[in-house]
Amino acid sequence: MASETDAGPWVRALRASHDRLSGIVGTLDAEGLRRQSYDSEWSIAQVLSHLGSGAEIFLLNLEAGLTGGDPPGQETFARIWDTWNARSPQEQASQSVAVNEALVSRIESLTPEQLAAFRVAMFGMNLDITGVLRMRLSEHAVHTWDVAVAVDPAARVSADAVGLLIDGVPPMIGWMSKKAADPVVIAVTTTDPAREFTLDTGGVTLTPGLAETPASLRLTAEELLRLVYGRLGEPAPVSASNVSLADLRAVFPGF
């Protein structure tokens, strides 16, 4: 597991995610860009538009953290979103790849001293550089999968991203879930990498370590990540006892 203060693995994983997505985009024609992504409400081009507008916003926050300036506000976000929404699918695709490359390249250009000193007030949090990279990687890697699986049903979230993101799932669980109609406490065991959690679907909380529970769930870390993000569809080769995947999907409806 990477150190919380070591930005290197996060930078490399973000670079790999960008390169993976840009490679997929390069194979798509106009019809392919209009194909539905995993998200039932977004085409592939719309996913790319979301990632492009996000890259612009992250670049502004990055520069604010480096210079001590003010981070962008809601008015700036709205203007960026409107601009991206007005673009054609082809423009959304090409410009998304370009601005994501600009973001990753800018991060790669930072010195160790800049990385260590970095702080920014972002989305109500005071983040260091690994906090920013965690937020961006979680968005980029999962949305890259939204595109990849539309092209290849066997696609998975990249293993390097999963290895970094899986330990950050517990703090996020509250705003990615809703209370179960019939709450249960579940012992969750993952492979690739191996982790143990206790999931309480009444809270909803995900706590590192196993407890005595009436239910259990065994799956890969990649599958757990997709479950929490509302992206574990059928068929899902997981082992569950005294809890159903349908119940779990209701707790994690996705976004």
CB 181 within 8 A of CB 206: no
Is the pLDDT at 1 greater than 50, yes or no? no
Q: What angle (nearest 5°) sits at the alpha carbon of residue 248, between those of residues 179 and 218?
A: 130
Domain spans, the chain: 8-155, 167-251
Position 114 scores a pLDDT of 97
**Amino acid, res. 53:** S
Is the pLDDT at 252 greater than 70, yes or no? yes
Cα–Cα distance, 255 to 40 (Å, whole number): 11
Fold exhibited by the domain 8-155? Four Helix Bundle (Hemerythrin (Met), subunit A) (1.20.120)
- Closest among 200, 249, 202, 210 to 228, alpha carbons compared: 249
Backbone angles phi, psi at 206, to 5 degrees: -130, 110
DSSP conformational letter for 83: H
CB 166 within 8 A of CB 190: yes
Q: Model confidence over 70-124: pLDDT tens digits? A: 999 999 999 999 999 999 999 999 999 999 999 999 999 999 999 999 999 998 8
CB 131 within 8 A of CB 125: yes
Alpha helix locations (H) across the chain?
8-25, 30-33, 44-67, 74-85, 89-108, 112-117, 129-151, 159-165, 169-172, 221-228, 245-251
Is the pLDDT at 182 greater than 90, yes or no? yes
Question: Does 132 sit behind a cis peptide bond, omega within 30 degrees of 0 on the bond before it?
Answer: no
Q: Does domain 167-251 have CATH number 3.30.1050.10?
A: yes
Position 123 scores a pLDDT of 82
Indicate if 167-251 has the same CATH topology as 8-155. no
Position 209 scores a pLDDT of 97
Question: Does 235 sit behind a cis peptide bond, omega within 30 degrees of 0 on the bond before it?
Answer: yes
Position 5 scores a pLDDT of 60
